[in-house]
Amino acid sequence: MRPRMRSLAAGAALWLAPAPAVAAQCQMVFSVSVYNDAAFSEDRTVVYGFSTSSDNSILCTCGHGQYLTRTTVYAPDGAETTASPAGFACCAAVATNGRMGTYTVTGRVNLFCSCAGPVAAGGVAATIAAAQGGGARKSGVSNVAGDRIGEGREDT
């Protein structure tokens, strides 16, 4: 009878022991950025717009893919040129054709998230000014709000 009591006491001790620590749950963080820049060709006849995107998201069980980075260059007269190859970087170019004023470069990245579906993000626009005599001035202005595709807004 004594051996049975010992096993019962050992079982009770195991049942009363604290539960092992559970690993912390993963906290997903969407962190996608787009960086934009503008430059003139050496002879100042072309404005180049560059957009580079990066994805530093914490994905947990989700996956990101199908990146498509889009760059648009807006001329002072409202004309625009857009390029959108697959990947993390893009470049678009527009001939100045003597148009003086401010050129604006915007960028946006569209991607697919296995948890949320199609999503997009944008960055701060880059501007460069063409002036008589070949002068240039660069600055930045607010641009694109990153949202689900179809809900994104561009404010230039």
How many domains does the chain divide into? 1
How would residue 132 be classed by pLDDT, with cut points 50, 70 and 90?
confident
Sign, CA dihedral 150-104-107-42, equals positive
- Between 95 and 149, residue with greater pLDDT: 95
- Please give the residue range of the domain that contains residue 134: 39-154
In a domain, 150, yes or no: yes
Cβ atoms of 62 and 113 closer than 8 Å:
yes
The answer to whether position 1 is within a domain reads: no
Which tops the pLDDT comparison, 119 or 142?
Answer: 119
Half-sphere exposure for 16 (CA within 13 Å, toward CB):
6
100 touches 146 (CB < 8 A): no
> Does 29 map to a domain?
no
How much is the pLDDT for 13? 46
Examine residue 123 and state whether it is found in any structural domain, yes or no: yes
- 20 belongs to a structural domain: no
pLDDT score for 12: 45
Note the pLDDT tens digit of each residue in 67-111.
999 999 999 999 999 999 999 999 999 999 999 999 999 999 999
Instruction: Please state the pTM of the whole predicted model.
Output: 0.71
| Domain-located, residue 64 | yes
User: Is residue 96 included in any domain, yes or no?
Assistant: yes
Domain-embedded: residue 142:
yes
Q: What does the block give as tokens for 121?
A: 């993000």
